[in-house]
Amino acid sequence: MAKQQTLARFFTSMKKNTSKSVKETDDQKKSDTPKSPEKKKIIKDEEDQQKQQKSVVGKRSRSSSPSRSSSPKKLKPSVQISDEDLKKELAADKIDTKVAGLEKSKPILYSLLCKTFDKIEQESSRLKIIEIVSEFFFEVLQNSPESLVTIIYLSINKLGPDYDNLELGLGETLLIKSICESTGRSTATIKANYKETGDLGSIAQTSRSRQSLMFKPKPLTIETVFKNLKEIAESTGSASQSKKIGIIVRMLSSCNGVEAKFLIRSLEGKLRIGLADKSILLALAKSLLSFEYQKQGKNYNKIDPSLISDAELQIKDTFNQVSNYEVIIKAAMEHGVLNLKDNVSLQPGIPLKPMLAKPTKAITEILDKFSNTNFTCEYKYDGERAQIHLLSDGKVKIYSRNSEDMTERYPDLIQALSNFIKPGKSVKSLILDSEAVAWDRVDKKILPFQVLTTRKRKDVKLEDIKVQICVFAFDLLCLNDEPLIHKPFNERRAIMMDHLQITPGQFQFATYKNLENIEEIQQFLDQSIKDSCEGLMIKLMSSTYEPSQRSSNWLKLKKDYLQDIGDSIDLVCLGGYHGKGKRTGKYGGFLLGCYNPDSGEYETTCKIGTGFSDEDFASLSEKLVGTVISQPKTYYRYDKDNSKSSPDVWFEPNLVFEIRTADLSLSPVYKTGADKYGKGISLRFPRFIRLRDDKGPEDSTSPDQIIELYESQVNI
C-alpha cells in the first residue's frame, strides 16, 4: 500500500511538472516580448528564494549575492543546520573551496571555478580579488595540481599560450541560437532580454534555471569544458557552425547555477571579472609559495611579506621571458618559486614579451636623460616587429610583438634564414629581434607600412608573394640556447654582427650611429626620414634587454611628433557615426577607446573623423560590417548620460587605429583616466594615421600610458 501511494505521488508530480513545462513553452511561443515589470519581479523573487535555499542546502556554497541578506529562518531546508554553524559560515573570510566539494585526486567540477568567478565579480578590491584567486589556486595545488594550468587558462579566457593562436570570441547570433536550442526559449525573447540587460551570460543562467528536467545531468568538469572550448575554437569549414552550436547546447544542458553565465561569457571572449595575466601571476606566486610551506610543515599563514614580494617578482620576470604557464608551474613545483630565475630562462620556440621604448619629443630631452652616458642612435623602421626564433632542430618560428605566431606569413624569410649566418660560425639556435618592412627590390628602398599590410597573414605560398620584405635586425636575445638579455646592448649587438651577415634587400642590420650632440642627432634624424623611416631609437649602450617593459633606457624620437605629444596612440574602434554629404552610406567618424588591463574594460577616449582618405572610409566600413553589435558591451565604459556623444552604431572591439594628436586635455564626456581626475582624458585634434593590423585590442595604449603622456605635457 505504501509503495502504491509513493508511486501515485511520483506520477502526480511528473504530470504537474510536464504540464508546467508545456505551459511555459506555449507562453513563450505566444509572446516574443519581455515580461512585464511585475512578472519579472515575481520571477526574480522566486529565483532569489531558490538561491537562498540552495545556499543552505547541499553544498552550502558561500555567495555574496543579494539573496544572502534574507533571513535563513524563513527557509525550510531538508537538512537542519545549527545557527552557530550558519554564523561561522557567514562570517568566514576565505573562499570555501573545501566546503564546495574540492576533493583530492578527483576531477574538479566546473561549478567550483564558476562560483569563484561569481565571488570575484562581486568584489571591487584588486587585492581581495588576488587573495580569492590565490586561495583557490592553493586548494587546487593541494588536491589536483595537474589541473592548475587548465584553471588558469579558463580564468583568463584563453585556450593556451598566446602563440598557439587559439581564440573564441563567438558572435552573439550563434550564442543566441545556442541558448534558444538549449532552453526552448524563442529567439525574439532572448534578443529582447539582451537589449534590456546586455549580458547574454546572465540571460543563459536565468533561462537555464527555469527549465524543469526529468533527470539530473552529469556535472561539467573543468577538463571537459576546456576540451570542448578548444574543439569549438579549432572547428573550421562549412559544417563548423552547426558543430559549434551542438557542443554549446550539450554543455548548457549540463549547466547549473552560475555555470551557464560564465560559460557563455567565455564563448563571447570576455568573462568580465577583471582577471588578466598580471593578477593571475600575483595570485600564483603566493599560492605556490604557500604550497611549498605546507609541504615543508611550515606555517603557510605567516610567510614573510618580503618572500612573497620576491616570489611575485620572480614569477613576473620569468613569465615575461617564457610566456607559458605550464613551463613555469612545472619548474616552480620542482625547484621552488623562489628559485625560478635560476631554473627557467628564455628558450627558442617560446616568444618573450618585447622591450619597448618611451617617447620623447625633443633632442635636448635625450641629452638631458642620457648625460654622461654612452648611447647609440638607430633608425626606427616603419614595419612589423618580428621576433625570429631558430630552434635547435632547424625549425623556424616568427612571432609578432603580441606573441602571435605569424610564421605562415613569411615563408620567404624562413627559406632564406640560413643565408644570414656567417660561414664558419656555429649557430644552432637563436632569438633575433627585428623589424620586417616592405621592400622595393628594383629601387632598393623601403616601402610604406600600408604596402606591408596588403600581404596575406596566413597560408602564404612562395609563388604567390607579391610584396617582398627586408628584415632589419637590431638585437640578439639568445644564441645557441644561451640567453643574452642580461648583457649590455653594445655586447649583444657585437655578438649579432659577429655571427650574422648582411644579404642586401633581404637581411640587414639597423642603421646606427653613436652620436653626442644636437646637430649630429638632428642630421641623422633628417636622414632617417629621407630613407623612409619613422625616426630614431636612442638606446643606452649599457642597457640590458627588459622584456615587456617600456623602459627609459630606450627612447623613440619621431619626426612628425616633435611638436605633438611625442608619440602616436593606439586606440580601439568601439563605435561609428553615420557619414553625411559625400560620406553618406559610409561611416563619417568613429568612437575610440583604450583597453584597461586591470578592469578588463574599454574606456572611451575620443571621437575622430579626420585623417581618413575616401579609400580609408570605404575599407574600414567593409571591415566593420561583421563586427556590428546591437548595443554596447557591458564592459564598455562610456558616458551613458550624454546621448549626443553616443555613436550611431556599436562595434565589437576588434580594430586598432594608430592616432596622432596635438595634445591631451580633460573632458567630462570620455572615461580614460576618469578614476584619477574625475574627468576623462581626451585627444585634441586627433588624426588617423593607419590601421594597426599587427595589434590586438588588448595591445592598445593603456589608460596608464595615456595618463603618463598627459602628465608629461609642459602645460596641463
- Phi and psi torsions of 455, nearest 5°: -75, 135
Q: Are strands 656-660 and 569-578 parallel, antiparallel or unpaired?
A: antiparallel
Active-site annotation holds for 380: yes
Q: At what angle do helices 325-335 and 148-155 cross, to 10 degrees?
A: 140
Q: Please name the residue ranges forming H helices in 361-505.
A: 363-369, 411-416, 449-453, 489-499
Q: How many residues does the chain have?
A: 716
Residue type, 485: I
Catalytic residue, candidates 119, 353, 380, 539: 380
- Phi and psi torsions of 423, nearest 5°: -60, 135
The number of beta carbons lying within 10 Å of the beta carbon of residue 167 is 13
C-alpha–C-alpha distance, residues 512 and 377, integer Å? 5
DSSP letter assigned to residue 78: S
C-alpha–C-alpha distance, residues 303 and 299, integer Å? 7
- Residue 293, C-alpha cell as written in the block: 610551506
DSSP string for residues in 130-167? HHHHHHHHHHHHHH-GGGHHHHHHHHTT-SS-GGG---
Residue type, 491: E
Nearest to 401 by CA among 437, 434, 370, 429: 434
Compute CA distances 595 → 200, 601, 679, 704, whole Å. 21, 6, 17, 10
C-alpha–C-alpha distance, residues 382 and 512, integer Å? 16
Q: Which residues are catalytic?
A: 380
